[in-house]
Structure 1
Amino acid sequence: MTDQAVGGDVFFVLMGAILVFAMHGGFAFLEVGTVRHKNQVNALVKILVDFAISTVAYFFVGYGFAYGTSFLVDAATLTGGGVGFELQGLTLVKFFFLTTFAAAIPAIISGGIAERMKFLPQCLATAALVGVGYPLFEGIVWNGNFGLQAMLTEAFGAGFHDFAGSVVVHAVGGWIALGAVLLLGPRLGRYDADGRMMGIPPSSIPWLALGSWMLCVGWFGFNVMTAGSLQAASGLVAINSLMAMVGGILSALVVGRNDPGFVHNGALAGLVAVCAGSDLMHPVGSLIVGAVAGGLFVKGFELCQSRLRIDDVLGVWPLHGLCGLWGGVAAGIFGQQALGGLGGVSLPAQIIGTLAGVVYAFVLGVAVYGVLKVAIGLRLSKDEERRGADLSIHKISATPESDILR
């Protein structure tokens, strides 16, 4: 029975890892549908290469920073024959699962810096962020490193609760991206000489929609299978994720005045926000959290692009940064028993943990991309940007047959 139980957990976590891995295809196609045709190949290549770099960096460095475990031992130990490794390779599939979370950081950033970022500095940034930057905060929240969780528990009766990463993954990725976008500056032609925004419509709503659907489906692995075992799995997490998603869709539909880009991103906004408290909240609370997130994304995107003139191509700062921030705080509100939640969460601890995460992430983003800007530069040249990243970096476009006929 013990072997069967462990084998079930291995399969459960592995399916979660595969679902979240599939979400990276969603990141890719969401970006493909948003950027112009001349940058679609670059979007696809970036997400895939970033995942590969993330896996290597997290395997050799990052996972050790977060959890103190090294995989540089023999295979017999890895599969459960040594201290710190669970039977039947359960630790290994948990690593796979957490790797897909870590690789979401550069995938999030990719959407903000699209259409004008050099390839090499982004690869180097991925290695630094997934190898060191992200795991340090991940370890603080999910492994109790450096004593912050213990201090919050002593002071407020509960530590910072982020079940599936509203802050640890999404807000951190979004606020790192903000630093990178500010250092890059806007795309050529995005704003005129008077600072007025010039329209650059999405290249393909169907591709954008496909990306959103892939992310939505995979998100149920992202949230539900964070439990880590069959015994700990909860249907509450699933229904809360569903309700937050539809809340985000409906809110973005209304606030965004039927705009299809807002609608499809509204689903993601709701899912980002519910991650932190999906194991605590009542479904009605999750619906409200998702609805607030959908409206927050629309208004945040408009503020970012039009008034602040921050050219965040996919709106990753409002989507992941702001909605992730809201999710961290919302867990401390709607997780309370008075609002139908399970309790065991502290609003002051949620506020402190969330603010710590976004401040850390923004400083980290400015530092990593700032160093790269000084050392090797971040942007394509003006001629390369006009030509497009596909031809400038990869020497092939998304429609090579059409290019031959020109």
Structure 2
Amino acid sequence: MSLDVLAKSTNVLFLLLGAIMIFAMHAGFAFLEVGSVRQKNQVNALVKILTDWAVSTVVYFLIGYPIARGISFLKPADQLISGNMGYDLVKFFFLLTFAACIPAIISGGIAERAKFWPQVLAGAIFVGLLYPFFESIIWGQNAEAFQNFIKNIGGANFSDYAGSVVVHSFGGWLALPAILILGNRNGRYSKDKTKSYPLPISNVPFLALGSWVLSVGWFGFNVMSALNIGEISGLVALNSLFAMVGGILAALLFSKRDAIFVHNGALAGLVAVCAGSNIYHPLGAFIVGAIAAIIFVIGFNLETEKFKIDDVLGVWILHGVIGSWGGIAAGIFGLKIFGGLGGVTFISQLIGTLSAIVIALVGGFVVYYTIDKTIGFRLNAAEEEKGSDLVIHSLEAYPEK
């Protein structure tokens, strides 16, 4: 075997392992939702995540990836593997795992009251069209023009190494219009919204399992964003670890040892660190993750109790707001004055982050409003009371009871 073949094969394996690690994260999304919803909606949570993954694969392969990267796979198989041992194919698989996070993120916010096929359709539109468009102007085939625009204003390119903004912020802000259009679950608040009636979650161990699976897979999410083994960085790995730990400890303290906040604190730290994981000092990553967890503890309580927004898993805060914090934080803690590697500016990071918010909010509102007014988006009151498991899937999670 020649050194060239060995190098190409090694890169294929490297990226394939990363793709598999992130694919496993979708089990984390599923169990995080299963544990957070009521027992009558657990089966639905599992089926939604798996279905969204399958649909995302097809639409991203046929439509989304060509939009994002300008590469089509509609050619003979021998042409698909020629020259690079199929590296382009596993790169598609790897980037698919990012794209498929979008409907997985949204799923947690709209849990327990959304119709099945309308939410699948919305996810397909986002993964096939809207997300690839944004991916293309940040990471993909149209990035040069948009990055030059940002650089001319802010003095540097917008930096989002592993998707705090491109994936998490974008997905979280897409979820907000869906949550608002759907409305709150029946019984969550009094009719005049003066009182809150928290609905019990079904399974804390499943929620914790989801957090653990996501946390482990996140090291594939961040480290393998190098895209080839020659660019791998131990700094990314350590920064991911320190941000996660910072999130756990901050959530532990600020929530007064609330188990749900502690497990989400780990995820908050990891969401926030993605953008600057390649440029932070580990202690800077720790601070970024800790601040992210504090944002989640305070933000989730404000969202659900003060503003009476029934975001079941807090995805707008966890992914939308904290993903935005991650994008902006890279322009602060990535600076050399804070021990970072530099090459970023606060203004450029702010512009790139705001662009995600605007595109996601507008696109999400248009898609969900159209679905709601045409085919309908929400289960009726009787269906919601019975539960998605029986209404949609004719199956209970624990039929022996």
TM-score by length of 2: 0.98
Q: Which of 110, 114, 128 is the aligned partner of 1:113?
A: 110
1:231 to 2:230 alignment = yes
Q: Which residue of 1 aligns with 2:166?
A: 168
Separation in 2, partners of 1:237, 1:226: 9
Separation in 2, partners of 1:264, 1:312: 17
1:44 to 2:46 alignment = yes
SS in 1 for 2:156: coil
Q: Which of 180, 190, 206 is the aligned partner of 2:178?
A: 180
Distance verdict in 2 for CA 1:194–1:157, change over 3 Å = closer
Shift of 1:144: 5.4
Q: Which of 63, 68, 71 is the aligned partner of 2:70?
A: 68
Separation in 1, partners of 2:198, 2:328: 34
Q: Which residue of 2 aligns with 1:311?
A: 310
Separation in 2, partners of 1:152, 1:186: 38
- Does the CA-based 8 Å contact 2:65-2:71 persist in structure 1? yes
Shift of 1:281: 0.6
Separation in 1, partners of 2:101, 2:176: 15
SS in 1 for 2:376: coil
Q: Which residue of 2 aligns with 1:278?
A: 277
CA offsets 1:182-238 (integer angstroms, 9 cap, x no match): 000000000013411102121110000000000000000000000001100000000
1:10 to 2:23 alignment = no
CA offsets 1:141-176 (integer angstroms, 9 cap, x no match): 002516111112233331110000000000000000
CA offsets 1:7-59 (integer angstroms, 9 cap, x no match): 11101100000000000000000000000000000000000000000000000
Q: Which residue of 2 aligns with 1:256?
A: 255
Where does structure 1 differ by over 6 angstroms across 4 or more consecutive aligned residues? none
> After alignment, is 148-157 or 393-402 more displaced?
148-157
SS in 1 for 2:400: helix
Separation in 2, partners of 1:205, 1:155: 47
Separation in 2, partners of 1:199, 1:345: 42
Q: Which residue of 2 aligns with 1:189?
A: 187
Shift of 1:307: 0.7
Separation in 2, partners of 1:201, 1:13: 40
After superposition, where does 1:121-270 map in structure 2 within 5 Å?
121-143=118-140, 145=142, 147-195=145-193, 196-270=195-269
Identity across the alignment (%): 59
Separation in 2, partners of 1:197, 1:259: 19
CA offsets 1:38-85 (integer angstroms, 9 cap, x no match): 00000000000000000000000000110111000111111125xxxx
Separation in 2, partners of 1:152, 1:189: 46
> After alignment, is 232-241 or 362-371 more displaced?
362-371
Q: Which residue of 2 aligns with 1:30?
A: 32
Which amino acid in 1 is paired with 2:93? F
CA offsets 1:249-306 (integer angstroms, 9 cap, x no match): 1111111111110000000000000000000010010000000000001111001100
Separation in 2, partners of 1:154, 1:309: 41
Which amino acid in 1 is paired with 2:260? G
Q: Which residue of 2 aligns with 1:92?
A: 89
- Does the CA-based 8 Å contact 1:144-1:150 persist in structure 2? no
SS in 2 for 1:401: coil
Separation in 1, partners of 2:198, 2:155: 50
- Does the CA-based 8 Å contact 2:70-2:141 persist in structure 1? no
SS in 2 for 1:133: helix
SS in 2 for 1:106: helix
CA offsets 1:336-395 (integer angstroms, 9 cap, x no match): 111111111121100000011011111111111111001111100100000000000000
- Does the CA-based 8 Å contact 1:241-1:278 persist in structure 2? yes
Separation in 2, partners of 1:97, 1:224: 12
SS in 1 for 2:20: helix
Separation in 1, partners of 2:141, 2:322: 24
CA RMSD of aligned residues (A): 0.9
Separation in 2, partners of 1:50, 1:193: 33
Separation in 1, partners of 2:20, 2:215: 14
SS in 2 for 1:25: helix
Structure 2 stretches lacking a partner, 5+ long: none
Which amino acid in 1 is paired with 2:24? A
Which amino acid in 1 is paired with 2:366? A
> After alignment, is 72-81 or 386-395 more displaced?
72-81
Separation in 1, partners of 2:6, 2:357: 41
Which amino acid in 1 is paired with 2:113? R
